[in-house]
Structure 1
Amino acid sequence: MSDRQMVHIGPVRVAVIAASSQVRENLQTIVEAHPAFSVMGSAADADTLVESLAGSVPDVVVIDSEPDESDPLKALFEREHTPPGLVLLLDDLDSDWVLDALPTDAAAILSRNVMPAEIVASIEAVAAGLCVLSPDVLARLLAGRKPLRWTAPSGPFEALTLREVEVLAMLADGLGNKEIARQLDISDNTVKSHLSTIFGKLGAANRTEAVMLAMRHGLIMV
């Protein structure tokens, strides 16, 4: 069970970012119509949303705009909270950064043309700690047609310890840091230290890249 799953006792707290006021209104209507959701706020951009939330962090943010490479929700991620899951609604699912647009353990990447029911299902999935990808994005991810933004080392990887392999396997199973710490009976800081070492040894920039690299090189099986 991920950190995000554990905190959900009440309604799923949802925020909306969309440049168009009409799109924001439509997305809010979809969220408000679901009895298990509550709207925390909405805004035309991430900075305005963060300011309006006044320190609170939603469970899920629905974004109808293409984030830039600097990550429009960086201000939310830097807070001492479980980062929000993201539901990204995009026109171009083929753009270069799509496979890098998973800055949290849970995210959905969907076309803007999806039906309201698909948005609802994606919010529910992301709130439960899952990832949701359109068939096109999933096919690209599996086929490796769009490489992730990392540069593989020219030589062999530095050997991982058995504990580091254990942590990698748990990452592949979708576990968050706190759950990994509980299962291995270690502290959260020790998990973070293991992750930092793993990323350095594999040449990975984030959890997704680390798992993909480990799978490609036979370090873990899923």
Structure 2
Amino acid sequence: MSDGQMAQMSPVRVAVIADSPQVRVSLQAIVEMNPALKFAGSAADAGMLADCLAGSVPDVVVIDMEPEASDALRAGFDIGHAPLALVLLTDAADSDWILDALPGDPMAILPRDAMPGEIVASIEAAATGLYVLSSEILGRLLAGRRPPRQTASGVFFETLTLREIEVLTMLAEGLGNKEIGRQLDISDNTVKFHLSSIFGKLGATNRTEAVMLGMRHGFIMV
């Protein structure tokens, strides 16, 4: 068995930062209910969590961002002095300070009332190196980092990532979500995140339309 296969079989180690003890308990329960995840510890802030982990670095840190708690965001970046995947639960996801503070590491941003399934899916996505962002945040980030492409009709659309092009190509081949996941060695939830991003960028409402638009814009050749 290869090292990559062994790593994939290992559960994702998840730590929690939340000021509220009740929130910490709730997030711990969500993590412990999923066999693909392993709870690593929790604390009220990053410093206390680092002490709790005693040098061990989790794969993903979930941070509950209470109102006016923006200083806690950057504090969560240096746990163990290693790159981290972060899942932020915040009611101010569209605030400019969130955009300014986004690190280069994988991250998910969800509302604080997100459903347990959404939190778990975001943890899994961040652990595989993906961003999970609202369409508003994604649009603002892309607008600041690269120009959109323009069709002959003058309609602008966002450029697909290489992984999204892979997913779209498999979609054009008639593969379902599970088969795409198996071929790319990613979870069903991750496939769904990619499809959602593809639909949003291309302005598609279904799989067939996404394939047609992908062919029209030159992303795939069938």
Shorter-chain TM-score tier: 0.5 to 0.7
Unaligned stretches of 5+ residues in structure 2 = 146-160, 164-218
The answer on whether the counterparts of 1:5 and 1:127 sit within 8 Å (CA) in structure 2 is no
Deviation string 1:150-208 (CA, Å, 9 cap, x unpaired) is xxxxxxxxxxxxxxxxxxxxxx769xxxxxxxxxxxxxxxxxxxxxxxxxxxxxxxxxx
Distance 2:90 2:103 in 1: 16
Name 1:78's counterpart in structure 2: 81
Superposed displacement of residue 67, structure 1: 4.1
Deviation string 1:68-114 (CA, Å, 9 cap, x unpaired) is 288112432624xxx22000011112222211333242101111122
Name 1:54's counterpart in structure 2: 54
Number of residue pairs the alignment of both structures matches = 144
The answer on whether the counterparts of 2:88 and 2:110 sit within 8 Å (CA) in structure 1 is yes
Name 2:64's counterpart in structure 1: 64
Aligned runs of 1:1-222 on 2, under 5 Å?
7-65=7-65, 66-68=69-71, 71-76=74-79, 78-79=81-82, 83-144=83-144
Name the CA shift for 1:73/1:8 in 2 (closer, same or farther; >3 Å).
farther
Distance 2:91 2:140 in 1: 16
Superposed displacement of residue 28, structure 1: 0.7
Superposed displacement of residue 116, structure 1: 1.1
Identity percentage of aligned residues:
58
The answer on whether the counterparts of 1:15 and 1:41 sit within 8 Å (CA) in structure 2 is yes
The answer on whether the counterparts of 2:50 and 2:80 sit within 8 Å (CA) in structure 1 is no
Q: Secondary structure at the match of 1:109?
A: strand
Q: Answer 1 or 2: which has greater helix percent.
A: 2
Consecutive aligned runs of 4 or more in structure 1 exceeding 6 Å deviation: none
Distance 2:121 2:99 in 1: 21
Q: Secondary structure at the match of 1:47?
A: helix
Name the CA shift for 1:41/1:70 in 2 (closer, same or farther; >3 Å).
closer
Unaligned stretches of 5+ residues in structure 1 = 148-171, 175-221
Aligned-residue RMSD, C-alpha: 2.8
Distance 2:105 2:5 in 1: 12
The alignment's TM-score, normalised by the length of structure 2, stands at 0.57
